[in-house]
Amino acid sequence: MNKLPKPDTNSLVTFYGNPDINGDGLPDPIWEKVNITRIIPPYAMYLAWNPSQPVSKIAIHVNCAESLTRILKKIGETFNASERAYYQLDMYGGGYNFRLMRGSNRLSVHSYGAAIDLAPSYNGLGMKYKPDTRMMPLKVVRIFEQEGWEWGGQWHRPDAMHFEATSTSK
């Protein structure tokens, strides 16, 4: 994957394109058609808000698709099915989703198709990370970091379910 952008609007638009080209607060259908693809999860995943519903495809930006596929494949190889279920790594909380960042007037990185949420019920927004619980295993964090992705678990307002294809490093 190319050097990932910083998480500011200008860097995101330069790298991923503008999902709201005309500024009307709606996703641009042409941008979406050109930039959003769908990958098949390499292990069984389910919608976090409807656990009986399997996830057949994950919508993600074309610039992130190969990287996310490698990440999920590595998670599937590192954790067996019972471990994935224990940590709810098989619970998909969302990928591409055109919306504002919570508490902001900026587009979420999800709006660019460059973020994914995993295991949201154990890793809720604002929950302080506790490594010795069923929260996001640090092995998963390291797998994402090896691909250059940022993890929300150590942010000022923690978001341990959230991973994004951005970089805060220099």
Does residue 170 lie in a domain region? no
Instruction: Outline where the chain has alpha helix (H).
Output: 9-16, 29-35, 62-78, 81-87, 138-146
Residue 39 sits in which domain range? 9-164
- pTM of this prediction? 0.95
Does residue 42 lie in a domain region? yes
Does residue 17 lie in a domain region? yes
CATH code of 135's domain: 3.30.1380
Give yes or no for a contact between 119 and 161, defined as CB atoms under 8 angstroms apart.
yes
Q: How many domains does the chain have?
A: 1
Q: For each of the chain's 170 residues, which pLDDT tens digit applies? A: 558 999 999 999 999 999 999 999 999 999 999 999 999 999 999 999 999 999 999 999 999 999 999 999 999 999 999 999 999 999 999 999 999 888 788 999 999 999 999 999 999 999 999 988 999 999 999 999 999 999 999 999 999 999 999 998 65
Does residue 3 lie in a domain region? no
Does residue 155 lie in a domain region? yes
Does residue 61 lie in a domain region? yes
Does residue 4 lie in a domain region? no
- At residue 1, the pLDDT reads 55
| First-to-final CA distance of the chain | 16
